[in-house]
Amino acid sequence: MRSLLPEGIGDAALKEFWLQKLPSAVLTVVAGLDGSLDELAERADRVMDVSSANRDVYALSTSSAPEPDRLRAIENSILALTAQVATLATIQTNNRPPDQHRRQRSSFRSRSRSRSRAYNHKWCIYHNRFGNEARKCRPPCAYSSEN
């Protein structure tokens, strides 16, 4: 690593960079040690040797592709779930009161109609929102002079 470093970077910076790249199990041991960078590297190598000897690899499956029977079972499960969702959606639509949709739409329309007036930049916010019904007025407002 020292040979790859640009000139001017000292051992302290190299040590910090090197410590950041260590596996957490090795870093736990090496971070608390004092010594030269070479001594710490030797100690890290020993810790890596010991910790890598204890690593076990477990295989979950020997084949990479699922068996055809397994694929058919998954496909059948997906089809059954799709049919259940469609049934539930139909039940939910049929159990809703018929005029509920109309009430929601009409109230939305009436609200949007009342707000669809063009915004007049000469009026205050209260006159823009409530027109003649406005109880407050904020200057500058030209509502009273225009009406």
Per-residue pLDDT of the chain (147 residues; tens, 9 = 90+): 677 777 777 778 888 888 888 888 888 888 888 888 888 889 888 888 887 655 555 555 555 566 778 888 888 888 888 889 888 888 888 887 655 555 555 555 555 455 556 788 888 888 888 888 888 888 888 887 676
Q: What pLDDT does residue 64 have?
A: 59
Nearest to 131 by CA among 118, 112, 140, 106: 118
Which tokens hold the place of 34?
């004092």
Q: What pLDDT does residue 99 have?
A: 59
Q: What pLDDT does residue 44 have?
A: 87
Q: What pLDDT does residue 100 have?
A: 54
Q: Read off the pTM.
A: 0.35
Q: What pLDDT does residue 136 have?
A: 85
Q: What pLDDT does residue 49 have?
A: 83
**How many Cβ atoms are within 10 Å of 141's Cβ, its own excluded?**
19
Cis before 23? omega within 30: no
Q: What is the dihedral of CA 44, 47, 52, 53, to 10 degrees?
A: 150
Contacts of 29 (CB under 8 A, 6+ apart): 43, 44, 47
Block residue for tokens 């190299």: 14
